[in-house]
């Protein structure tokens, strides 16, 4: 009679799934630099530069900059960014967090990353110029790309409550197109701040060759998607979760094949969805909308993209066999010139079948 311990099938399957999802080459189209800071780096910057904080110890700092036991709340989630603005205390600090954001993505086997950042957030608290901050981020991202197997492009993100900076940021983005800046984004509180002032800015930027994405129908109404597409010229939509409330918006997204940058964990933490099983990611996929899976703010949410894929499979109910399609959606939605995009699409099309050839893993 054998006395060997019995295997726990669920645990084995979980480890198999986790390993597979980690090894799977991935794409993240919706990741905020300001939400991608390592907690250990925050603690070091706070200590070195005497940043005025509630605490300088890692564990005591965590609840202020990361969702721990917070009740789901959209504005509570956004409030984390206010404290994070204090950490961009020097050229070295800005370059370090930008470099580490790309390195951490590469360590999660993300092969293509579009990292969005807000120069206002990185500069105003210390009085840096937007131009300097842009240079520092670009330099750090390039260094990380050179040293790791990841391709990265940058998106300049603006906040809805700060339209006074829109033109300056757009002009700066256009001036840095040849250095990896590919798009503009507008984010923030879509409940209380309209996009009216951003319309001429984004329309001009598009004529200058920049791509456009926009946070819409995350916390705001479904009609914000139509507004973003028709007024801003958005080619992709950040989140778009509340489109599920409006058949006309679903039809618009499907008819125009507008990719959605979806982030399930973030949507749960902000209270946009009550539970993961009610996230519309897979429902949207089934009706033909090109959905993608992304992290949003990995350090605030305490996740990796591998975590987000596992959440999508286990929590949302996305079949394992569907994941290559979703990765391919992201490749086709990348803000790259046609030849570069074709190369990216071909690489993923050839590589993905090596990782998920069937749905044999018991999840």
Partnered with residue 117 across adjacent β-strands are 156
Cβ atoms 328, 346 nearer than 8 A: no
Q: How far apart are CA 359 and CA 310, in angstroms?
A: 14
**Of the listed 218, 235, 261, 308, which one is catalytic?**
218
Q: Which residues contact 83 (CB under 8 A, 6 or more apart)?
A: 53, 64, 65
CB under 8 Å to 186, separation ≥6 — which residues?
157, 158, 159, 160, 195, 198, 202, 214, 215, 228, 232
Q: Which residue's structure tokens are 């993240």?
A: 28
Contact 277, 315 (CB under 8 A): yes
CA distance 241 to 253: 12
Place of tokens 């940021």: 169
Q: Give the residues across from 292 on adjacent strands.
A: 261
Residues facing residue 28 across a β-bridge: 113
Question: 334 and 236 in contact (C-beta within 8 Å)?
Answer: no
Active-site residue flag, 218? yes
Closest CA to 332 of 318, 344, 350, 347: 344
* Helix H or strand E segment including 156: strand 151-159
Q: How many helices (H) and strands (E) does the chain have?
A: 17, 8
Burial of 153 (0-12, 13-18, 19+ CB in 10 A): buried
Contact (CB, 8 A) for 124 and 161: no
CA distance 362 to 56: 43
Residues identified as active-site: 218
């Amino acid at each position: 009679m054998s006395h060997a311990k019995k295997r726990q099938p669920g645990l084995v399957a979980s480890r198999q799934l986790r390993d597979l999802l980690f090894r799977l080459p991935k794409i993240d189209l919706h990741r905020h630099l300001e939400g991608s800071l390592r907690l250990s780096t925050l603690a070091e910057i706070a200590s070195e530069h005497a940043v005025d904080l509630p605490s300088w110890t890692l564990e005591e700092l965590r609840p202020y900059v990361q969702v721990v036991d917070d009740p789901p709340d959209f504005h509570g989630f956004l409030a984390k960014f206010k404290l994070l603005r204090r950490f961009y205390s020097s050229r070295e600090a800005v370059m370090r967090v930008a470099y580490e954001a790309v390195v951490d993505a590469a360590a999660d086997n993300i092969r293509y990353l579009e990292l969005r950042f807000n120069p206002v957030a990185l500069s105003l608290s210390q009085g840096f110029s937007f131009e300097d901050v842009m240079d520092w981020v670009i330099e750090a991202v390039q260094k990380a790309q050179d040293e790791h197997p990841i391709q990265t492009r940058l998106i300049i993100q603006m906040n809805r409550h700060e339209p006074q900076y829109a033109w300056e940021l757009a002009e700066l983005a256009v001036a840095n197109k040849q250095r990896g800046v590919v798009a503009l984004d507008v984010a923030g509180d879509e409940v209380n701040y309209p996009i009216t002032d951003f319309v001429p800015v984004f329309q001009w930027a598009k004529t200058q060759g920049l791509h456009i994405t926009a946070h819409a129908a995350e916390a705001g109404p479904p009609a914000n998607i139509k507004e973003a597409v028709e007024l801003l010229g958005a080619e992709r939509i950040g989140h778009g979760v509340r489109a599920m409330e409006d058949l006309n918006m679903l039809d618009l997204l499907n008819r125009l094949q507008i990719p959605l940058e979806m982030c399930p964990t973030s949507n749960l933490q902000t209270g946009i969805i009550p539970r993961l099983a009610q996230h519309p990611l897979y429902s949207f996929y089934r009706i033909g909308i090109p959905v993608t899976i992304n992290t949003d703010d990995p350090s605030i949410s305490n996740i990796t993209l591998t975590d987000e894929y596992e959440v999508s499979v286990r929590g949302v109910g996305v079949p394992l066999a569907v994941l290559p399609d979703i990765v391919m959606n992201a490749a086709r939605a990348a803000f790259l010139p046609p030849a570069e995009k074709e190369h990216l699409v071909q690489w993923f099309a050839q590589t993905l079948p090596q990782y998920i050839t069937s749905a044999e893993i018991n999840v």
